[in-house]
């Protein structure tokens, strides 16, 4: 088991627990190194670090940046970033500013399929209104009786071809990597298994093109052990890590009780031959 969980969310984005609660839960569950990686926002990190210190746990400053690449939405996790680095902070601010208009369009799309009140409904679930997103709409759709849980929402709503889906232009891949690296962090491709499955799945050829471009732009890591991956995918993405000379990362992608496949906590070991992403910063800072 690994003592690291390098991907999770708080109420600063679409998690259900506050940064303090996330850290306390991770500590109880045996995590020694935790990265809080809220979507497009770093405002939970100071609170999380204070709570981590109380538990003798190491908090790694993180973020999960929304990126558009070709026709795909990707998530790039930044680990060991400096949240005060101006280009990063400014870039995240621009991404956040697009979320409000997108939410209005999502609500209009739902209204056209007979579901009213979604904008106000979703905002009620957004502790941080700047990061209004699909998870908050999903919680509203569960509350209003359209779906039994958040997971089933994403089968019938909010995804391409379904009510509530709105295409959106997120950050450029090169920008996200540059902001992360410029701030001293490591750029990691989050949950690659999500991009190779589902209705907008990319094939192996496109995935290889993505990994080549990601590495050439300065991306250094890939999530191998992820709450979104099956054990077969751990092996698959360990092979890609080796092929593209990328470091391996691990994270639960925990969002809150009852909503995530995997709880916060210690994760299964990497397949053999993986080089853990923490090698990148152990050399320098810790
Ligand atoms: P957004 O950034 O507004 O597009 O929202 C993306 C978030 O929606 C992800 O970070 C997940 O929390 C959630 N999400 C996306 N797909 C699914 C899914 N199939 N099941 C559960 N949650 C999902
Ligand atoms: Mn999320
Ligand atoms: Mn993600
Ligand atoms: Mn995530």
Per-residue pLDDT tens over the stretch 36-46: 999 999 999 99
Per-residue confidence (pLDDT) for residue 1, from 0 to 100: 86
Per-residue confidence (pLDDT) for residue 285, from 0 to 100: 55
**Distance, CA of 50 to CA of 57 (rounded, Å):** 10
Task: List all residues 6 or more positions away from 116 whose beta carbon is below 8 Å from its beta carbon.
Answer: 110
Cα of 135 from ligand 1 centre, angstroms? 6
**Distance, CA of 259 to CA of 99 (rounded, Å):** 22
User: Which ligand is nearest the CA of 63, by number?
Assistant: 4
Tell the burial category of 182 from Cβ atoms under 10 Å away from its Cβ (0-12, 13-18, 19+).
middle
Task: List all residues 6 or more positions away from 25 whose beta carbon is below 8 Å from its beta carbon.
Answer: 17, 264
Within the chain, which residues score under 70 in pLDDT?
284-286
What is the number of other CB atoms lying within 10 angstroms of the CB of residue 197?
12
Ligand 1 closest atom vs CA 255: 12
Task: Name the residue at shortest CA distance from atom 11 of ligand 1.
Answer: 135
Asked whether the beta carbons of 115 and 100 are under 8 A apart, the reply is no
Per-residue confidence (pLDDT) for residue 241, from 0 to 100: 98
Closest CA to 185 of 278, 260, 262: 278
**Distance, CA of 222 to CA of 228 (rounded, Å):** 13
Cα of 283 from ligand 1 centre, angstroms? 34
Task: Name the residue at shortest CA distance from atom 9 of ligand 1.
Answer: 135
Task: Name the residue at shortest CA distance from atom 21 of ligand 1.
Answer: 151
User: Which ligand is nearest the CA of 254, by number?
Assistant: 4
3-state SS assignment for residue 117: coil
pTM: 0.97
Ligand 1 closest atom vs CA 64: 10
Cα R_g (the chain), whole angstroms = 18
Per-residue confidence (pLDDT) for residue 282, from 0 to 100: 84
Closest CA to 77 of 151, 181, 160: 181
Closest CA to 16 of 150, 191, 166, 157: 150
Ligand 1 closest atom vs CA 75: 10
Q: For residue 60, what are the β-bridge partners? A: 35
Q: Which residues line ligand 1 (CB under 6 A)?
A: 14, 39, 66, 133-135, 150-151, 154, 255
């Amino acid at each position: 088991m690994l003592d690291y969980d390098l991907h999770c969310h708080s109420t600063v984005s679409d998690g259900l627990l506050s940064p303090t609660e996330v850290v306390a839960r991770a500590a109880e569950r045996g995590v020694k190194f935790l990265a809080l990686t809220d979507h497009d926002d770093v405002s939970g990190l100071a609170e999380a670090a204070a709570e981590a210190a109380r538990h003798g746990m190491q908090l790694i400053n993180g973020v999960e940046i929304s990126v558009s690449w070709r026709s795909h939405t990707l998530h790039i996790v930044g680990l060991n970033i400096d949240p005060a680095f101006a280009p990063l902070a400014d870039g995240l601010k621009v991404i956040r500013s697009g979320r409000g208009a997108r939410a209005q369009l999502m609500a209009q799309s739902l209204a056209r399929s007979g579901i009213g009140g979604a904008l106000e409904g979703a905002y009620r679930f957004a502790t941080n209104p700047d990061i209004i997103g699909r998870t908050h709409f999903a919680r509203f759709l569960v509350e209003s009786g359209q779906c039994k849980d958040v997971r089933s929402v994403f089968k019938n709503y909010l995804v391409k071809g379904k009510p509530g889906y709105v295409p959106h232009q997120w950050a450029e891949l090169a920008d996200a990597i540059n902001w992360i690296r410029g701030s001293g962090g490591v750029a990691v491709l989050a949950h690659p298994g999500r991009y190779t499955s589902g209705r907008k799945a990319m094939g192996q050829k496109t995935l290889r093109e993505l990994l080549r471009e990601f590495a050439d732009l300065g991306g250094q890591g890939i999530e191998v052990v992820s709450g979104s991956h099956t054990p077969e995918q751990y092996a698959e993405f360990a092979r890609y890590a080796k092929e593209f000379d990328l470091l391996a990362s691990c994270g639960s992608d925990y969002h809150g009780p009852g909503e995530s496949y995997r709880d916060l906590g210690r994760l299964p070991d990497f397949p053999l031959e993986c080089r853990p992403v923490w090698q990148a910063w152990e050399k320098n800072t810790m």
